[in-house]
Amino acid sequence: MSSRTTIDHVLKYTGIFGGVQGLNMLISVVRNKLTTHLLGPAGIGLMGIYLAIAEFVSSSCNFGLPFTSVQRLSELFESDDRQAMERFVGVVRTWCVWTGLLGGALCVAFAPLLHTMFAGDSGSLWRPALVAPMVTATIITGGEISILKGTRRLKRVATITLLGAVVLLATTIPIYWLLGTDGILLALNLTAALTLALHLAFTLPVFPWHVSLFSRQVLRSGLPLLRTGFPYVLSAMAGSGAMMALTALLLRLGSMADVGLYRSASALMVSYAGIVFTALESDYFPRLSSVNHDPLRRNRCINQQIQVCVGLVGPFMIALAMMMPVVLHILYAPEFMVIEDMALAAVFYTFLRAITTPISYTALANGNSLLYLAMEVIYDGVMLVVVAASYSTWGLVGAGIGLSAAALFDLLLIGTCYGMHYHFRFERHTLAIIATQSTAVAAAVAACFLLPPLHKYAVCAVLLAAATAASLRLLGTDSAAIQRLAARLRRRR
């Protein structure tokens, strides 16, 4: 596959998932606006606690099946062996049911400990146990997602993402309106169940439901997946554990409202500004896995993904920084406007992720989960310490600075280690895009902090135009689609 064709392929699937995520964002705007009005910062903080618990337990109990099964299914899909795929899907589903039940049981068993950890939660001692249904449904859903991704049914994944946003809006808002904060657990469990049902509606026509919960042969067939995924489980535990610990620290150092404000600002950077990253797991990881034994093709694949991610994220982050007050006003209730400075300080977190994330998949694609584990554990530990220390010193804006500082550390760590292990190198073209976009983003953030509104908008508008033009020019070198668009625009002139 030529360089030009590959860039167009990356743009195509980034466009598909980014477009769907854009529609998802529009729906989320309505949901977030209503949710923040109905629950307030403290309610969002309480929801964040339950989500942190659910994420930690589900990532600890899924045994890495969502990742390891995608890789194996991708190989079976390439061989076009339908019977082997059906057998493997049965193995994945069987193990997902068992691990889902395990996750639910652990929520119940450790409910008193979790309640003690989050002493700011004024609910009953066993309230965290009510997260169990959500955890079970989430783990089983992860298996269904891996089936769609591994068999390259990416348009179905995109459709489910959009429908899931609609379901979330239709179910949560009425519950919050009627019950307020008392309806948070009900809403979370109901949406998890409906999300699972939605995924099954798309996977069952392709692979009918079949599990063998007590078949030794089926369970034994899944053991290699568990062994391969065990380091990934540890890394996921480190990540979600760090987030849960950070939530507890913010609760101790600040208040429930601060937890809600922090999660809202980080969601803005991770969820809304992370549109481009949606295509990574769905398209990029299987594609990288297919060339993991060829160093030259692997390096080319990583660099091309970085070029597209940075070329798209750079202008997007400039626009977001410039319009931050307007964005916050649209997305959140008035009480959340105080997170503007934190969100601006965290802009570099998202930008640096555009460089780091494509590189970080290399170890997983090569089956070196121990190296991936080491990188994740080191980063999570540093992130926890830096963000907590920055928050205790400078408040919420310090938390934003801490996120960006931790992301820079992660880039230096992964770039150095993967360069040594996999001979990863930035291509000259990639470095040109990174240098151009990072300079523009840094100038835009500085303008937002230092200049009055009128001057800020003028400077950022110029930077946005320059960054967009630079992205089109640099990506257009390897993209036939961009060159065709440019030619049409020239003819219209």
How many structural domains compose the chain?
A: 1
Whether 69 and 61 have beta carbons less than 8 Å apart is answered as: no
**Higher pLDDT residue, 114 or 15?**
114
> How many helices, marked H, and strands, marked E, lie in the chain?
20, 0
Q: State yes or no: pLDDT of 21 exceeds 50.
A: yes
**Higher pLDDT residue, 355 or 121?**
355
Residue-wise burial string across 389-423, b where 16 or more C-beta atoms lie within 10 A, e elsewhere:
ebbbebbbbbbbbbbbbbbebbbebbbebbeeebe
Q: How far is 292 from 58, CA to CA, in rounded Å?
A: 29
Q: How far is 352 from 408, CA to CA, in rounded Å?
A: 7
Q: State yes or no: pLDDT of 199 exceeds 70.
A: yes
Q: At 377, which amino acid appears?
A: V
Q: Residues of the chain with pLDDT > 90: what percent?
A: 45
Q: At 372, which amino acid appears?
A: Y
Whether 241 and 379 have beta carbons less than 8 Å apart is answered as: no
- Among the ranges 69-73, 129-133, 222-226, which has the highest mean pLDDT value? 129-133
Q: Which two tokens stand for residue 118?
A: 């989050």
Q: How far is 330 from 33, CA to CA, in rounded Å?
A: 7
How far, CA to CA in Å, does 388 sit from each of 47, 264, 393, 400, 405? 20, 17, 9, 10, 12
| 488 Cβ contact partners less than 8 Å away, ≥ 6 residues apart | none
Lowest mean pLDDT among 139-143, 173-177, 326-330: 326-330
Q: How far is 374 from 378, CA to CA, in rounded Å?
A: 6
Whether 310 and 356 have beta carbons less than 8 Å apart is answered as: no
Spell out the alpha helix ranges (H) of 132-153: 132-150
Compute how many other C-beta atoms are within 10 angstroms of the C-beta atom of residue 221: 18
- Burial class of residue 454 in the structure, from the number of CB atoms within 10 Å of its CB (0-12 exposed, 13-18 middle, 19+ buried): exposed
Q: State yes or no: pLDDT of 133 exceeds 60.
A: yes
Whether 457 and 321 have beta carbons less than 8 Å apart is answered as: no
pTM for this predicted structure: 0.80
Arithmetic mean of pLDDT, 340-345: 95
Q: How far is 36 from 32, CA to CA, in rounded Å?
A: 6
Phi, psi of 402 (to 5 degrees): -60, -40
Please choose, from the candidates 189, 97, 183, 186, the residue with its C-alpha nearest in 3D space to the C-alpha of residue 141: 97
Spell out the alpha helix ranges (H) of 2-64: 3-61
Q: At 354, which amino acid appears?
A: A
Q: State yes or no: pLDDT of 156 exceeds 50.
A: yes
Arithmetic mean of pLDDT, 51-57: 91
Domain boundaries, position 417: 3-492
Arithmetic mean of pLDDT, 380-407: 95
Whether 262 and 399 have beta carbons less than 8 Å apart is answered as: yes
**How much is the pLDDT for 12?**
52
Would you say the C-alpha torsion 482, 483, 487, 488 has a positive or negative sign?
A: negative
Arithmetic mean of pLDDT, 17-36: 69
Arithmetic mean of pLDDT, 355-375: 85
Residues 90-99: tens digit of each pLDDT: 999 999 999 9
**How much is the pLDDT for 344?**
95
Q: How far is 164 from 145, CA to CA, in rounded Å?
A: 13
Residue 399: pLDDT band with limits 50, 70, 90:
very high
Residues 248-290: tens digit of each pLDDT: 899 889 888 999 999 889 888 876 555 656 555 556 766 787 7
Query: Of all helices (H) and strands (E), which one includes residue 333?
Result: none
Q: How far is 445 from 180, CA to CA, in rounded Å?
A: 37
Arithmetic mean of pLDDT, 74-91: 83
| 465 Cβ contact partners less than 8 Å away, ≥ 6 residues apart | none
Please choose, from the candidates 489, 443, 493, the residue with its C-alpha nearest in 3D space to the C-alpha of residue 466: 443
**How much is the pLDDT for 5?**
46
Arithmetic mean of pLDDT, 164-176: 89
